[in-house]
A = this chain, B = another copy of it.
Amino acid sequence: MIQGFNPRTGEPAGKPLAETTDAEVDAAVVAAAAALPAWAGSAGEERARALEAVADALDARAGELVPLADEETALGETRLTGEVARTTGQLRLFAGVLRDGGYAGAVASPPGGGMAEIRRINHPVGPVAVFAASNFPFAFSVAGGDTASALAAGCPVVVKAHEGHPGTSVLTAQIVTGALAGAGAPAGTFGLVHGFEAGIRLLTRPAIGAAGFTGSTRAGLELARLCAEREVPIPFYGELGAVNPVVVLPGAASGQGAEIASGYAGSLTLGAGQFCTNPGLLFVPEDAAALPGAVADAVGASSGAPMLSERIYKGYEASLAEIEAHPAVTAVAAGTTGEGPWGATPRLFSASLAEFAADIPVLSRERFGPAGLMISYPSAGDLIPVLARLGGNLVGSVHGDAGSAADLAAARQVVAVFERTVGRIVWNGWPTGVAVNEAQHHGGPWPATTVPAYTSVGSAAIRRWLIPVAYQGVPAELRPGPLAD
């Protein structure tokens, strides 16, 4: 049985839900496969209208969705209201992508050298399995970015709901299913399954053509392995964990110290630190006298919040125990513990660059929650080689004084390292807060993502679900619509 809980009380939220049986999973996949020809073959405009219908329906029911999600996640009404808007905004973004048409990648090469004309266009990869995340009950869940982009691409979708918000998942799925049916989408275009075993079975059904996942590194790598070991392997687009290094350069440390301290604490504790974009590592200049104290004060003055689940809370506590016990690390600040049995305490630790460099695997580990490690570095020259040894991250941030030649010179080196090790580089800002637009790249080198060439946020996310087919000398009446001319 799947049971949601109220993180503010630890008490059950809503009724228990049966796990999806093998037969039910298979039926959802069969229905998705049956829907594929009609959904894949529908005009972009039809799918655009269907996505907009889903967006409109979700917006219309936000008044029910938000309190339900708040009961199951304790993320708060403001955040969740914003997240519904982001979610419906994503659906409408992809409607725009469909109307623009560029996603299809239609291109023609004229005949030449004895070779016939070739035209190429992208086709949907097949039914897609989407694994919902715990920390975004809307934007990375049942009707989130993976679902929106896959549906836009022409792929039917079967979502494996996250067990942390089952009631929200069921209501969202009902709304999505109804809106799609009302917009004329074939039955089976969308399905929902519940339970760990159901997710495994879903991923291993032969008809599934690709999978999207947002979640922990451990779970993601395990599912990636299953995909690779299928009789026919499929692409697994996993967006996993990250520690997202932030580098403060000397000019910024002295000129913008107060803003940096409060900004850091804000980003670190946002959403109880339960973001893959959480700034887990903060590199500050050794001689930035005031900054470490200001950061410690800001984190000390911050407040925690209920974590999403007992499992996440216990994981955070274990992670804190690990770093507290580390001989190279000093505990420097603790904020106010969040309410309820699973309330997170914001924490700040510190280490020197040399100490950090001596145990990067442990000290750069993601601690899913509001825990930061502040690392003091002697000079940019010392920092750069250590920074280059970090694993792949979603985001790297650098704070500098654009008017300082020294900061700019150091920033150039930091950016050069980040260009090889992160998916997004932020200047004088924070990694949390991911804009949903055309230029966004929410990805990054392994293990931040399993397929670093792709993004899971923004218009380009649709590319994960498309594969090209070339048509050589094929008459217009046999080519797909956009290639027909």
Contact = CB atoms under 8 A, between A and B. Distances in A.
Interface of A: 37, 107-109, 112-116, 118-120, 123, 125-126, 228, 232-235, 391-392, 402, 408, 411-412, 415-416, 418-420, 422-429, 433, 435, 437-441, 443, 445-447, 450-453, 455, 460, 463, 466-475, 477-478, 480
A32 to B, nearest CB: 14
B478 A439 contact: no
B468 A443 contact: yes
A109 B469 contact: no
Given A473-B429, A474-B427, A475-B402, A435 B468 contact: no
A470 B109 contact: no
Contacts of A446: 232-234
This chain: how many copies in the complex?
Answer: 2
Given A453-B467, A473-B429, A420 B126 contact: yes
Which of A392, A416, A478: most chain B Cβ within 10 A? Answer: A478
A118 B469 contact: no
A441 B422 contact: no
Given A126-B420, A435-B115, A440 B474 contact: no
A422 B445 CA distance: 30
A439 B122 CA distance: 11
Contacts of A443: 467-468
Contact of A427 (B233, B415, B475): B475
Nearest to A415: B478
21 contacts: A109-B437, A109-B438, A116-B429, A118-B435, A120-B439, A120-B440, A120-B441, A126-B420, A232-B392, A232-B446, A234-B446, A411-B478, A423-B468, A424-B469, A424-B472, A426-B472, A427-B472, A427-B478, A428-B473, A443-B468, A455-B468
Contacts of A118: 424, 435, 437, 439-440
Contacts of A473: 426-429
Contacts of A447: 232
A454 to B, nearest CB: 8
